[in-house]
């Protein structure tokens, strides 16, 4: 694994775990602190399911899916063109998945705290790992659209 990808992934994992731990220390479960009225608040939540708490009773499936996702990302990162965007994309995605997976394995749920209301829709609460995963996946989609997912091995 590229050292830069590992460094980015490790940094995301540490930042996410520290932020979740700080929320755990200073907030009770479901406690909310408004930051921007009717838009953004910090709310401590525990999610045993996936996005929007789907399949809440099937936490073990999300552990298996997380492990599979990490294995697949490691496999695919060697076939992508080596550039800064792809390095960041794999680092963000791997770090985010690893951090949420650590929560699931050690706690039985994922700790969430970023709570947005957008156009009167109370968006599901999420965490920094989720942000990293979404940004990383978007960057990987851009790489695939640009054809950077298939390195020409004959040029090596």
Active site residues: 112, 130
Give the alpha-carbon dihedral of 99, 31, 107, 109, to 10 degrees. -70
The separation between CA 112 and the C-alpha centre of its own chain, rounded to angstroms, equals 11
- Residue 132: is it exposed, middle or buried by C-beta count within 10 angstroms (0-12/13-18/19+)? buried
Q: At what angle do helices 3-26 and 128-145 cross, to 10 degrees?
A: 150
Instruction: List phi, psi (to 5°) of 113.
Output: -155, -10
């Amino acid at each position: 694994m590229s050292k830069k990808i590992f460094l980015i992934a490790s940094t995301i994992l540490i930042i996410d775990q520290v932020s979740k731990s700080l929320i755990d220390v200073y907030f009770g479960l479901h406690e909310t602190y408004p930051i921007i009225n009717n838009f953004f608040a910090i709310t401590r939540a525990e999610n045993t399911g996936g996005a929007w708490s789907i399949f809440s009773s099937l936490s073990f499936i999300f552990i298996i899916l997380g492990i599979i996702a990490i294995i697949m990302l490691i496999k695919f990162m060697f076939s992508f063109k080596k550039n800064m965007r792809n390095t960041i994309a794999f680092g963000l995605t791997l770090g985010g998945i690893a951090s949420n997976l650590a929560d699931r394995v050690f706690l039985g749920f994922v700790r969430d705290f970023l709570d947005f209301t957008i156009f009167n829709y109370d968006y599901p609460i999420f965490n920094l790992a989720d942000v990293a995963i979404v940004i990383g996946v978007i960057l990987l989609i851009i790489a695939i659209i640009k054809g950077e997912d298939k390195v020409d091995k004959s040029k090596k």
